């Protein structure tokens, strides 16, 4: 396979423009794009920027370098998902489809893609931040953006040509006259064997971690989380009952998840199920010798929350057809209530008063004793909408929110990103969820699909396995990987013991964080033995990752879903159809 950069394309408010690509400055309407390319031992590196040369503001949706491909058939594309829960895996050009092709629901498209519009070509494939391409066993090419938080990077593989569009997605950002945006560099690297794909992805992750100042020094994380046993119905009594049993378990962290809060957005006030309040709760946890952790979705607010009702001007907006504004809806979860059947609004992170609020919330939680903050549903500020400062890209809106939380929490707090556009948070977070939610079942059937095209985004342990394997190279290079909780219980679950063992071994072999999320009263000696095995694997694999040797996946570009992972002298082979597996020494 050979890639040749041939064209430059801009999609802007004044129309779309395309021109041939060469080194230097290119005029595309009112805009100018400067491109430089360098060839070196690390491949071809493109450095580029866009400027408004006119005397009036211009909205810019995207800027793309277009590559023509000389390739045999079929072309395979390793697609990296947009955010924590977006699937990553192999797709075949002309066979597989983009999830948005059926249309789906806009709020779900906004959560799982940088560009929330439905793809115009149903045969086109896309990947976010990085991609790997192959057309045979003797060739692989990895193309990736280097940097975090200025803008999104979307790769579109289009059958016509075929061609690859490497797109700096700016999300209708407004460029004032004379303003310039330095775009993230783009690097193209090739190998002579598909087996080199993982090595090339490791190199890409190393470069990104170095450029963005990745926080990778936190210790290996072991703990307990309330979510997968109690979900929204968790009570103070549940927390205290498990805390009383936690002394017999090797937990450093003890994290309270969704369900404690009075309302989405009112994070410092508790529901009637937590009458003692957050500060007392943190005191119980730290008094028992654990670090206290708390969950929040910092950028979401319920319509009837105190924050939303007192500060309607803090909300991002959406332009109605009649020209008036309404609050921007970015998610729906009926279990949250909120006055509009679970519809959730988004805080406008481009407003200084909003970032000051986020900083104050984080500071208050840390002062109460919570040194671990799990930030969830953090894709919210990336959605198309009306924002107070339209000069910020969607990536900058997300990163500004995270930066405010980090400023309030301080440098020593552990911040976990979840539901996060992963390219936006390097250098600000200590850990990141890198897969879909697990579930007390292995896999989903086609009839379980809630929204056409997005079955693979729904909670299942099978998809969590696939994403954990696909993103293994990110551990200790960009952050600590969070593969999600192990599932140890044998009651109140549809996960067969063999699949539960596979998942515990996966979490361990990944080297990533290991959290239990079961009612500890349901767990006996077999569960403890399985956790001990998980942690032994995890500590060995994490130690190897600290030395630069993250887990290796052997068939990343051969199978729709990986079937093996190897680390620290151990190899796990998984039957993805039923969750059974075999662990052996290498």
pLDDT at 153: 98
Query: Mean pLDDT, to the nearest integer, of 283-290?
Result: 98
Measured CA to CA, the distance from residue 104 to residue 294 in angstroms comes to: 33
Query: Mean pLDDT, to the nearest integer, of 280-299?
Result: 98
| Residue among 362, 381, 245 at smallest CA distance from 294 | 362
Sign for the CA dihedral angle at 579, 582, 583, 586 comes to: negative
pTM of this structure: 0.98
pLDDT at 137: 82
Percent above pLDDT 90 for the chain? 96
pLDDT at 1: 86
pLDDT tops 90 at residue 349: yes
Query: Mean pLDDT, to the nearest integer, of 409-430?
Result: 98
Largest CA distance in the chain: 72
pLDDT at 456: 97
pLDDT at 402: 98
String of DSSP letters for 333-383 = -GGG-TTTTTEEEEB-TTSHHHHHHHHHHHHHHHHHTEEEEEE-STTGGGS
Query: Mean pLDDT, to the nearest integer, of 294-314?
Result: 98
pLDDT tops 80 at residue 210: yes
Mean pLDDT computed over every residue of the chain: 97
pLDDT at 98: 96
Residue 432 confidence class, pLDDT cut points 50, 70, 90: very high
- Single out the catalytic residue among 115, 135, 258, 437: 437
| Residue among 401, 354, 355, 358 at smallest CA distance from 378 | 401
pLDDT at 138: 79
pLDDT at 362: 99
pLDDT at 555: 86
The reply to whether 437 belongs to the active site is: yes
pLDDT at 276: 98
String of DSSP letters for 544-575 = HHHTT---B-TTTTTSSS--EEEETTEEEEE-
Spatial contact of 62 and 33, defined as CB atoms under 8 Å apart: no
Measured CA to CA, the distance from residue 380 to residue 384 in angstroms comes to: 10
What SS3 state is found at 461?
helix
What pLDDT digit, counting tens, does each position of 18-36 carry? 999 998 999 999 999 999 9
Percent above pLDDT 70 for the chain? 100
pLDDT at 403: 98
Cβ neighbour number for residue 218 with a 10 Å cutoff:
16
Measured CA to CA, the distance from residue 182 to residue 176 in angstroms comes to: 14
Q: Going from the N-terminus, what domains does the chain have, and what CATH number goes with each?
A: 2-212 (2.70.98), 222-298+352-553 (3.20.20.70)
What pLDDT digit, counting tens, does each position of 55-100 carry? 999 999 999 999 999 988 789 999 999 999 999 999 999 999 999 9
What pLDDT digit, counting tens, does each position of 526-571 carry? 999 999 999 999 999 999 999 999 999 988 999 889 999 999 999 9
Sign for the CA dihedral angle at 476, 478, 483, 485 comes to: positive
pLDDT tops 90 at residue 195: no
Residue 461 confidence class, pLDDT cut points 50, 70, 90: very high
pLDDT at 136: 84
- Single out the catalytic residue among 258, 376, 384, 482: 376
Query: Mean pLDDT, to the nearest integer, of 194-216?
Result: 95
Measured CA to CA, the distance from residue 181 to residue 201 in angstroms comes to: 26
Query: Mean pLDDT, to the nearest integer, of 413-432?
Result: 98
Name the residue with tokens 């595309």.
28
For helices 352-368 and 278-287, the axis angle rounded to 10 degrees is 40
Residue 483 confidence class, pLDDT cut points 50, 70, 90: very high
Instruction: Output the six-digit token pair for 461.
Output: 């342990």
Burial class (CB in 10 A: 0-12, 13-18, 19+), 527: buried
Residue 460 confidence class, pLDDT cut points 50, 70, 90: very high
What pLDDT digit, counting tens, does each position of 128-186 carry? 999 999 998 878 999 999 999 999 999 999 999 999 999 999 999 999 999 999 999 99
Residues in the chain: 586
Alpha-carbon dihedral 120, 435, 452, 327, rounded to 10 degrees: -70
Name the residue with tokens 């990103």.
417
């Amino acid at each position: 396979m050979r890639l040749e950069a041939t064209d430059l394309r801009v999609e802007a408010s004044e129309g779309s423009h395309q021109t041939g690509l060469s080194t230097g400055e290119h005029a595309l309407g009112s805009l100018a794009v400067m491109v430089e390319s360098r060839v070196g031992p690390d491949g071809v590196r493109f450095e580029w920027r866009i400027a408004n040369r006119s005397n009036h503001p211009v909205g810019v949706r995207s800027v793309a370098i277009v590559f023509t491909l000389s390739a045999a058939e079929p072309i395979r594309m390793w697609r990296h998902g947009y955010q924590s829960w977006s699937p990553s895996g192999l797709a075949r050009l002309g066979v597989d489809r983009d999830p948005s092709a059926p249309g789906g629901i806009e709020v779900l498209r906004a959560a799982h893609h940088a560009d929330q519009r439905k793809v115009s070509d149903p045969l086109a494939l896309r990947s976010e931040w990085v991609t790997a391409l192959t057309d045979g066993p003797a060739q692989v090419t990895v193309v990736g953006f280097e940097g975090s938080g200025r803008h999104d990077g979307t790769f579109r593989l289009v059958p016509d040509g075929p061609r690859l569009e490497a797109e700096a997605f700016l999300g209708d950002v407004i460029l004032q006259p004379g303003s310039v945006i330095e775009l993230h560099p783009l690097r193209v690297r090739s190998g002579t064997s598909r087996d080199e794909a993982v090595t090339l992805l490791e190199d890409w992750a190393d470069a990104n971690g170095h450029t963005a100042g990745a926080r990778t020094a936190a210790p290996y994380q072991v703990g307990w989380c309330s979510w997968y046993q109690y979900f929204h119905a968790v009570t103070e009594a549940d927390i205290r009952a498990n805390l009383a049993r936690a002394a017999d378990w090797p937990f450093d962290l003890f994290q309270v998840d969704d369900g404690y809060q009075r309302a989405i957005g009112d994070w410092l006030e508790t529901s009637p199920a937590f009458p003692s309040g957050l500060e007392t709760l943190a005191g119980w946890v730290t008094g028992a010798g654990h670090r206290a952790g708390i969950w929040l979705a910092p950028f979401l607010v319920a319509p009837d929350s105190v924050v939303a009702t007192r500060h309607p001007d803090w909300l991002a907006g959406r332009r109605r057809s009649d020209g008036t504004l309404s609050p921007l809806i970015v998610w729906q979860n009926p279990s949250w209530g909120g006055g509009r059947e679970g519809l959730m609004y988004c805080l406008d992170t481009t407003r200084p008063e909003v970032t000051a609020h986020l900083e104050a919330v984080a500071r208050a939680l840390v002062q109460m004793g919570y040194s671990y903050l799990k930030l969830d549903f953090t894709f919210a500020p990336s959605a198309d909408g009306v924002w107070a400062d339209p000069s910020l890209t969607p990536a900058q809106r997300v990163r500004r929110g995270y930066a405010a939380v980090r400023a309030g929490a301080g440098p020593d707090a552990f911040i976990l990103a979840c539901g996060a556009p992963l390219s936006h948070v390097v250098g600000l977070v200590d850990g990141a969820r890198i897969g879909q939610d697990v579930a007390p079942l292995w896999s989903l059937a086609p009839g379980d699909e809630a929204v056409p095209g997005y079955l693979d985004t729904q909670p299942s342990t099978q998809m969590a396995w696939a994403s954990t394997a696909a993103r293994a190279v990110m551990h200790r290079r960009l952050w600590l990987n969070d593969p999600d909780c192990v599932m140890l219980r044998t009651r109140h679950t549809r996960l067969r013991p063999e699949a539960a063992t596979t998942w515990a071994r996966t979490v361990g072999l990944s080297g990533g964080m290991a959290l239990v999320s079961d009612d500890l009263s349901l767990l006996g000696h077999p569960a403890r033995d399985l956790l001990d095995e998980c942690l032994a694997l995890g500590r060995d694999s994490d130690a190897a990752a600290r030395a630069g040797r993250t887990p290796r996946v052997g068939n990343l570009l051969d199978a729709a879903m990986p079937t093996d992972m190897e680390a620290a002298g151990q190899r796990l082979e998984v039957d993805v159809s039923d969750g059974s597996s075999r662990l052996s020494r290498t």
